[in-house]
Amino acid sequence: MKIKRSGPISRAVFWMAFWSWLEENEKIRTEAYIWELLWRVPLACAFWVIVVTLWLGVYGFLLVTNYAASELQEPTIIIITILYDTFLSFVLFQFFRSR
């Protein structure tokens, strides 16, 4: 005797199992995403705090000190700023590419 598998009950059981599996899978994926955010967001914030602090330190040193005012000309400060920005962009690119 052959079992008919295309009846309405079989389809209903299939869809119930499918939606149950999908909900469970989505729940696991969502929980993993939340846990990932819990450590990535503070890490990213700390990283940006460090970057901004370093940036303000270097930029402040160049602009505020007498050395920057007397010895360095404006184009030199601009070139150093561009090089520093390029370096930071490269570091950020490598950091986020590895994730």
Predicted TM-score (pTM) of the model is: 0.34
**Model confidence pLDDT, tens digit, residues 37-90:** 777 777 777 887 787 777 777 777 766 665 555 666 667 777 777 777 778 777
**Is residue 79 included in any domain, yes or no?**
yes
* Cβ atoms < 10 Å from Cβ of 21: 10
Number of domains present in the structure of the chain: 1
**Is residue 2 included in any domain, yes or no?**
no
Cβ-based neighbours of 22, under 8 Å, separated by 6 or more: none
**Is residue 26 included in any domain, yes or no?**
yes
- At position 97, the amino acid (one-letter code) is R
What is residue 4's DSSP assignment?
P
Residue 65 Cα distances to 9, 50, 61, 69, 83, angstroms: 81, 22, 6, 7, 20
Per the structure, the complete domain to which residue 84 belongs is given by: 8-97
**Model confidence pLDDT, tens digit, residues 6-34:** 555 666 777 777 777 777 777 666 677 77
